[in-house]
Amino acid sequence: MLAKILHFLIYTSMTFFMIIVILRFLLQQAKADFYNPLSQAIVKITRPLLMPLRRIIPGVMGIDMASIALMILLQLAVILVLGLILGQSTLFSFPLYSIAWAILGTLTLVSNIFFWGIIISIVGSWIAPGSNHPVLALVNQLIDPIMAPIRKILPPLGGVIDISPILVLMGLKVLDMVLARAAQAVYLNPNVVIGVW
């Protein structure tokens, strides 16, 4: 009973923190509004762990490698802690599998963030079209890098019906299928990896 409660608390809190770290990376890559209140909150939450890593790990071609390293390190820490709670010392027994699990869990979370970002954008465009709400503005900036290429190829039908979200959601579903197959190939344990369920 105590192990289940501990597992739930660690899994939930670390999932929330991982999402914040991934959002920081994605928003930085999307060149989102740094002065948005939500962006500022994300930066403040992630700064204590990210700044020391940035001193050690430089960026490469505009990609924040320290953020990527932090994502993988957090996943590995969770795999270790949850594995110990559940009596499965996976990280020590199979370190290469654990690294693969950490990467797959992170990629699955990234895919889910884009999926829900698109859903929030669609619902926001119906409920509050043209809204300047900070969350909606940030979500639109976040998903724009994956939506813009589709919109260039396929403009809105009749000038008003944008089907690019449907195509991107289908692409994300295909990516999830590929990630799920890769997870099976490396015997991923969803009980110890954030983002895979």
Each residue of 86-110: pLDDT tens digit? 877 666 667 888 899 999 999 999 9
The pLDDT of residue 174 is 95
Write the DSSP symbol of residue 154: S
Is 76 within the bounds of a domain?
Answer: yes
Q: Whole-angstrom Cα distance, residue 167 to residue 179?
A: 18
The pLDDT of residue 161 is 75
Q: Minimal CA–CA distance to 194: which of 120, 119, 67, 103?
A: 103
The pLDDT of residue 45 is 94
Q: Minimal CA–CA distance to 72: which of 106, 45, 48, 110?
A: 106
Is 62 within the bounds of a domain?
Answer: yes
Q: Whole-angstrom Cα distance, residue 64 to residue 69?
A: 9
pTM of the predicted structure, to 2 decimals:
0.88
Q: Whole-angstrom Cα distance, residue 83 to residue 97?
A: 13
Is 75 within the bounds of a domain?
Answer: yes
The pLDDT of residue 46 is 92
Q: Minimal CA–CA distance to 105: which of 3, 21, 5, 27?
A: 21
Is 50 within the bounds of a domain?
Answer: yes
- Report, as ranges of residue numbers, the positions in the chain whose pLDDT lies below 50: none
Is 48 within the bounds of a domain?
Answer: yes
Is 197 within the bounds of a domain?
Answer: no
Sort 120 into a burial class: Cβ within 10 Å, 0-12 / 13-18 / 19+: middle
Find the angle CA(164)-CA(182)-CA(147) to the nearest 5 degrees: 15
Is 157 within the bounds of a domain?
Answer: yes
Q: Whole-angstrom Cα distance, residue 57 to residue 109?
A: 23
Q: Whole-angstrom Cα distance, residue 3 to residue 81?
A: 11
The pLDDT of residue 197 is 66
Q: Whole-angstrom Cα distance, residue 100 to residue 123?
A: 35
Q: Which amino acid is at 52?
A: P
Q: Which domain does 138 fall in, by range?
A: 2-185
Is 196 within the bounds of a domain?
Answer: no
Total count of domains within the chain: 1
Q: How many CB atoms lie within 10 A of CB 76?
A: 18
